Amino acid sequence: MTPLVGIRTLAGLALRRDRIKLLLWVLLAAGLVAGTASSIKGLYATLAERQQYAVTIGANPASAVLGGPGFGLSTLGGITVAEVGSTLLALVALPSILLVVRYTRTEEQTGRAELVGSAVVGRHARLAAALLVVGGANLMIAAATIAVLIGYGLPVAGSLAFGLAVAGTGLVFAGVAAAVAQITENGRTASGSAAAVFGLAFILRAVGDASAAAQGGGVLKSLSWLSPIGWAQQVRAYDAERWWVLGLQLAAFIALVGAGAALSVRRDVGAGLVPARLGRSEAAPSLASTWALAWRLQRGTLIGWTVGVAVGAGVFGAIAHDIDGMVATNSDAARVFAELGGSRVLVDSYLAWVLSLTGIAAAAYAVGAVLRLRLEETDLRAEPVLATPVTRWQWAASHLVGAVVGIVTLLLTAGLVVGLVHGLRGGDVDHELPRVLTGALVQVPAVLVVAGVAIALFGLAPRGCATAWLVVVAALLISQLGGILRLNRWVTDLSPFAHVPKVPGHEVTAAPLIWLTAVATLLAVAGLTRFRLRDLT
């Protein structure tokens, strides 16, 4: 039997399962490119504006961390690549990882692979089919990107280079997933490890690019070349393209897939090269209450979020010092920040905006943490706990206290990091840290309101629990676009974040903080009261 027999059937199965997902993915990527290209074209229409951008962004280590090295920044194409690059690369790399793992390791884990494997399926057909589907989607994203960029009047060569580099990145990480999926038995561990490779690649590139932007970073500059994300940017689209870098991506892809295929024949179906790690045979003495269980279940997620928020806060905090220079000459951008942050002092506006963003991030965490109650219920893990002397009230409270601890931790982290980084760059920690920290902590009551909505839904309309996510999305849209779109006041007032004092820049007023907390409490009490009386699903 040839090793690829059945690849068409398997690829067809994957397409049938995920046709909507795959289509949305391609459209989302194309939409992101189109949206960015269009707004860049509007914001940086004149050469003077672009040169200003090149001077401020190109030499700024902080923006290099997020946006990459920045080539050809005085051209529209270069700016577009710098602005969309990191997001788009994450948007191709992470789904590529998840899908390859989904079609390979997860299939084995669930036992579906055995069902299919007993039919006429070649040894490498499963992996090949996964790569065919994911690679095809990446090429469609490349084609859409190229078409969109050329459509906005950008040079053909640069558009081609960038589009192919994007697809190349997706392929490299599909290859990473193909290799990593052979190692562990568990699908989630596999996609987690491959995503960690992506994270490492991002950090390597961020350090390398920041060093390059700081001029004289020495050896550190070359770190970008160790990162597949860095390669995509080193293609230098719209600035004397280096086509050979695409070959580097292709070679890495082939090597990784080869490694994956070689590893896969050295193990049994369903098994990993590394046996699953064993846990404790007895629980630690502390794992003796529903409170301990809730903490055990939430801590991993909270640690991940805290690290993420700290990194983001570090980057945004580092830029704050340069914000005057970055937007001084661009009156549109300055107006946007004044709308968002509500202060005439640009830095204060910017800081208030960053802190409100972390508030919304904390709200997203809070919804996830509260809805874990529902997840435990529907996955039938609440049942064995509630069949012990644990009351419903104790069970729910244990998760909710965890959620509140998480909210405060995240906002405290954000306030401390932004305050410290910004204070250190300006040499004025004593002044900056307290006011930035205050600006972060005033978000807490608004976040609690969002959490309260989730609790109320959990109690009153458990089937519609996921609606709580819409509240987060709506709050984000209102806070980001409300001012620019000149939305009606009563619409913007619907967001709890609209009532948070914009600190720094404004005085802290107690009244909104008190009534927001009161609303949150009412929602929580309503939800929990109903939950104590309703049937468990």
Give the contacts of 363 (CB within 8 A, at least 6 positions apart): 446, 447, 450, 451, 471, 472, 475
Residues of this chain, 178-217, that bind other proteins according to CB under 8 A: 185-186
User: Could you tell me the two tokens for 256?
Assistant: 């990784």
User: Could you tell me the two tokens for 348?
Assistant: 């204060």
Among 293, 318, 360, 433, binds other proteins (CB under 8 A): 293
Q: Cβ(483)–Cβ(343) under 8 Å?
A: no
| Segment interacting with other proteins (CB under 8 A) among 40-48, 91-99, 379-387, 487-495 | 379-387
Q: 293 vs 283, 329, 391, CA distance in Å?
A: 11, 54, 14
| Segment interacting with other proteins (CB under 8 A) among 55-63, 89-97, 249-257, 380-388 | 380-388
Q: Exposure of 430 by Cβ count < 10 A (0-12 exposed, 13-18 middle, 19+ buried)?
A: exposed
| Segment interacting with other proteins (CB under 8 A) among 231-239, 322-330, 344-352, 376-384 | 376-384
Residue 266: what residue type?
R
> What DSSP line would sit under 28-95, residue for residue?
HHHHHHHHHHHHHHHHT-SHHHHHHHHHHHHT-HHHHHHH-S--STTSHHHHHHHHHHHHHHHHHHHH
Whose Cβ is closer to other proteins: residue 113's or residue 140's? 113
User: Residue 460 Cβ, how far from other proteins at the closest point, in Å?
Assistant: 16
User: Residue 19 Cβ, how far from other proteins at the closest point, in Å?
Assistant: 29
Place of tokens 């080193």: 234
Give the contacts of 189 (CB within 8 A, at least 6 positions apart): none
Whose Cβ is closer to other proteins: residue 331's or residue 391's? 391
Contact status: 287 vs other proteins (CB under 8 A)? yes
Distance (Å, whole) CA 483 – CA 477: 10
Among 226, 251, 288, 328, binds other proteins (CB under 8 A): 288
Give the contacts of 499 (CB within 8 A, at least 6 positions apart): 446, 493, 512, 516
Contact status: 268 vs other proteins (CB under 8 A)? no
Contact status: 385 vs other proteins (CB under 8 A)? yes
Q: Cβ(241)–Cβ(158) under 8 Å?
A: yes
User: Residue 393 Cβ, how far from other proteins at the closest point, in Å?
Assistant: 10
Among 75, 227, 290, 343, binds other proteins (CB under 8 A): 290
Residues of this chain, 386-405, that bind other proteins according to CB under 8 A: 386-392
Whose Cβ is closer to other proteins: residue 222's or residue 378's? 378
Among 381, 431, 463, 486, binds other proteins (CB under 8 A): 381
Residue 166: what residue type?
V
> CA triplet 513, 517, 521: central angle to 5 degrees?
175
Distance (Å, whole) CA 385 – CA 390: 7
Contact status: 281 vs other proteins (CB under 8 A)? yes
Among 240, 380, 461, 514, binds other proteins (CB under 8 A): 380
- Whether the link from the prior residue into 504 is cis, omega within 30° of 0, is yes
Among 20, 46, 219, 280, binds other proteins (CB under 8 A): 280
Whose Cβ is closer to other proteins: residue 108's or residue 185's? 185
Whose Cβ is closer to other proteins: residue 182's or residue 479's? 182
| Segment interacting with other proteins (CB under 8 A) among 79-87, 174-182, 288-296, 460-468 | 288-296
Question: What residues line the site for other proteins (CB under 8 A)?
Answer: 185-186, 276-284, 287-290, 292-293, 296-297, 300, 379-381, 383-392, 533, 535-536
